[in-house]
Amino acid sequence: MVSVEDLRTYFDTPEGIVRAVDGVRFQVPRGKVFGLVGESGCGKSVTALSILRVLPPNARIVSGQILFDHGDLCRLPEAALQRIRGNRIAMIFQEPLTSLNPVFSIGYQIAEPLRIHQGLGRREAVTQVMDLLRAVGIPDPETRIREYPHQLSGGMRQRVMIAMAIATRPALLIADEPTTALDATIQAQILDLLAEIRATTGSALLLITHDLGIIAETADAVAIMYAGEIVEQAATTTLFTHPAHPYTQGLLASLPRHEGGDRPRRLHAIPGTVPKPINLPEGCRFAPRCGRCIEACTAAHPAVREIAPGHLVRCIRA
Amino acid sequence: MTPLLDVRGLRKYFPIRGGWLGGAPRMVRAVDGVSFQIASGEVLGLVGESGCGKTTVGRTVLRLLKPTEGSIRFEGEEIAALPDRALRPLRRKMQMIFQDPYASLNPRMRIADIVGEPLRIHRLAAGAALEERVVALLEQVGLGREDLARYPHEFSGGQRQRVGIARALAVSPALLIADEPLSALDVSIQAQVLNLLQDLRERHRLAFLFISHDLHLVRYFSDRVAVMYLGEIVEEAQVEALFTAPRHPYTEALLSAVPIPDPTRKRRRILLPGDVPNPADPPPGCRFHTRCPKAFNRCRVEAPRVTEPAPGHRAACHLAE
Ligand SMILES: Nc1ncnc2c1ncn2[C@@H]1O[C@H](COP(=O)(O)OP(=O)(O)OP(=O)(O)O)[C@@H](O)[C@H]1O
Ligand SMILES: Nc1ncnc2c1ncn2[C@@H]1O[C@H](COP(=O)(O)OP(=O)(O)O)[C@@H](O)[C@H]1O
Ligand code: SF4
Ligand code: SF4
Ligand SMILES: [Mg+2]
Ligand SMILES: [Mg+2]
């Protein structure tokens, strides 16, 4: 459905070049949920923004292909891309308040993509907006349609964002931390809604999160990012039951677990911190924190290997 | 035995602007009749959704806010009504760790001064002794002498949180109020800081009010847990009892909503309808009845009493009676 090949997106900053996304490659098949996980700053959002080419001015896509609908989004002219954005591909952001326009009513904002991309008239658009609001579980849509973003709670705003995103029945939905700003019970509502939408529309979902629990419960396949690279990628169950990269293993081991009732006195902790994006280590980027590091790890940058069908790992010792 | 902290019937109301149509000013009932105890060396986890009053409980107990009503006894002494100037000795014994390690440290101060400041304020050390004490504190949290002259921006989020912890420990408190101390940190760093808190707790017999919305962390770190909803504690129990046999429908739903990082375990989520009501205008009867899957007629008119369905396990629900 969408296929990202060797994507590199760099930022020019006064301190130097930030290699935010550095050779990322993955596919999101139709009707599937692909999870992208990693710690803050590892390049998840820049990957998403690159797909839609809505990057800040100091960013540039240095190399790569993003294949979608028989074309390469990296090379499409801006006008053609505009017909795809918010139509064939839609995005849901973490903070709906900053991405909804405060001066337009909810109804107007949801109707806009329908009027632009599908040429619906006012009447038809209103009817569809009502249906959409009902579909995302907003009670009393007749009233809500006239309200403004600040009048809604965080969970409602996220629903409105989702209603906007699915209005044109996009083939690909990108959700960047869609529930991070929400409470647990509201998060559960939204995740449920996303699953339902995918089941009914068959769209693909690229789900970006730092929460391994959300991935375990919703993603079909998952990629773990570290310092601009994907270090491991597999079907979700494989990744959780047979993690092969020391970073993935460390992440999973650092989660508090409660099976059996006994709690270990200490959690496993990955020592050190994520490297600064300006000064990435030459060899394996995880080497300074890796308990299994040997000389060969720092001598050359490890390539991705397929250790089992569909299970990709960027580690020479996996 | 007197508990270290004994809070009874605590209320904190905030006036909100816009006495609508010139009516009486309205009140946000941020904390509305909360009671709990913390024994010396014990960790009480406080959980609940955004806006339910957790931070307000913490700040009122510390007397950074003046309670509207209720009693707060610390080591047996009533502190709810103490005037500000009488609070200084208390501030030595209760310290706070904040959520945001970026915002809670003064960016223009060196680490030596940030950690040393409480020692100076309470006249606990000066000169060379002060520096030695600061170094010892930094070492306890995994930092060191080489960090004395550095500024907060030179540290990562996890390191800044360590600086905040060292500062809180400077005056040897008996109780730490930790308000979301890990939520600004990445997973791999959370484990580092949680291990540190665990060590400190054992070494100094520190008691904690551990405020967090991350139920996995709360379950790992707490001895007992209290669940808040709209300004009230709806359930309180020993940690394993609360997580394995919750008695309040809200706790049940909250626990079921937390994603588990194990794709081989599929559970049924209890989906709550709607949003948390506005604490300025809580529903009548049981405050949870607008979202409760088990609500019945009585819930809409009569607020449930707190009952003790099992020893040490309290719940405020008509069904738990
Ligand atoms: N200074 C204030 N003035 C008016 N209302 C306030 C004030 N401080 C808090 N509130 C309100 O009191 C209620 C409880 O707030 P509090 O900060 O204690 O929530 P919390 O449980 O800590 O939430 P979170 O999980 O988002 O940190 C909220 O409705 C909040 O808007
Ligand atoms: N506008 C920008 N200018 C310079 N660097 C940026 C900019 N936006 C993001 N970055 C850097 O790119 C990297 C990846 O960022 P991002 O994709 O936002 O991370 P996350 O995985 O948390 O979503 C980080 O090192 C970040 O500091
Ligand atoms: S390549 Fe070496 S340093 Fe990198 S993750 Fe594998 S073992 Fe660790
Ligand atoms: S008292 Fe009624 S509404 Fe409240 S939690 Fe119990 S069953 Fe639900
Ligand atoms: Mg991001
Ligand atoms: Mg708070």
Q: Please report the ipTM that was assigned to this predicted complex.
A: 0.85
Q: Give percent of chain B above pLDDT 70.
A: 98
* Beta-carbon neighbours within 5 Å of ion ligand 6: B 55
Q: Which of A152, A167, A182 is the last residue of a domain?
A: A167
> Which residues span the domain enclosing B177?
5-93+173-238
The label of the residue with tokens 């010892």 reads B136
pLDDT, residue B24, reads 64
Mean pLDDT comparison of A246-260, A296-310, B117-131, B158-172, highest-scoring range:
A296-310
Q: How far is the CA of B55 from the centre of ligand 6 (A)?
A: 4
Residue B173 pLDDT exceeds 90: yes
Tally of structural domains, chain A:
2
Label residue B185 by pLDDT band (50, 70, 90). Answer: confident
Contact criterion met (CB below 8 Å) for B251 and B233: no
A152 occurs within a structural domain: yes
Are A216 and B213 inside 8 Å of each other by CB?
no
In the predicted model, what is the mean pLDDT of chain A?
91
Distance CA A301, CA A213 (A): 30
The b-or-e profile of A72-99 (16+ CB within 10 A means b, else e) is ebbebeeeebeebbbbbbbbbbbebeee
CATH assignment of the domain containing A188? 3.40.50.300
Contact criterion met (CB below 8 Å) for A23 and A231: no
CATH assignment of the domain containing B36? 3.40.50.300
> Which residues span the domain enclosing A138?
98-167
- Sign of the Cα pseudo-torsion (A248, B189, A176, B49, in order): positive
Q: Which of A133, A150, A167 is the last residue of a domain?
A: A167
Are A39 and B254 inside 8 Å of each other by CB?
no
- Over residues A195-205, mean pLDDT: 89
- Residue range A113-124, pLDDT digits in tens: 889 888 899 889
A318 occurs within a structural domain: no
- Over residues A275-285, mean pLDDT: 88
DSSP letter assigned to residue B282: P
Tally of structural domains, chain B:
1
pLDDT, residue A205, reads 96
Label residue A200 by pLDDT band (50, 70, 90). Answer: confident
* B265 CB-contact burial (10 Å; exposed 0-12 / middle 13-18 / buried 19+): exposed
Are A267 and B188 inside 8 Å of each other by CB?
no
Distance CA A80, CA A49 (A): 17
Instruction: Give the end-to-end CA distance of chain A in Å, rounded to a whole number.
Output: 30
B321, A188, A244, B220: CA torsion to nearest 10: -30
Distance CA A50, CA A218 (A): 23
Distance CA A31, CA A169 (A): 12
| A205 shares its domain with A278 | yes
Among candidates A156, A213, A270 on the partner chain, residue whose Cβ is nearest the Cβ of B260? A213
Nearest-atom number in ligand 1 for the CA of B53 is: 18
Contacts of B257 in chain A (CB under 8 A): 184-185, 187-188
What does pTM read for this prediction? 0.89
Q: How far is the CA of A46 from the centre of ligand 2 (A)?
A: 6
B58 occurs within a structural domain: yes
Are B260 and A216 inside 8 Å of each other by CB?
yes
Both tokens of B291, joined, read 């979202």
Instruction: Chain A: give the shortest CA distance to residue B205, in Å.
Output: 15
B74 occurs within a structural domain: yes
- Residue range A151-189, pLDDT digits in tens: 887 888 888 888 888 888 899 999 999 888 788 888 888
A157 occurs within a structural domain: yes
Instruction: Chain A: give the shortest CA distance to residue B258, in Å.
Output: 6
Instruction: Chain B: give the shortest CA distance to residue A310, in Å.
Output: 18
pLDDT, residue A273, reads 84
Q: Distance of CA A213 to CAs A192, B173, B206, Å?
A: 14, 35, 31
C-beta contacts of A125-130 below 8 A and 24+ residues apart: A128/A167, A129/A163, A129/A167
Distance CA A184, CA B217 (A): 14
B198 occurs within a structural domain: yes
- Residue range A86-112, pLDDT digits in tens: 899 999 987 766 778 889 999 999 998
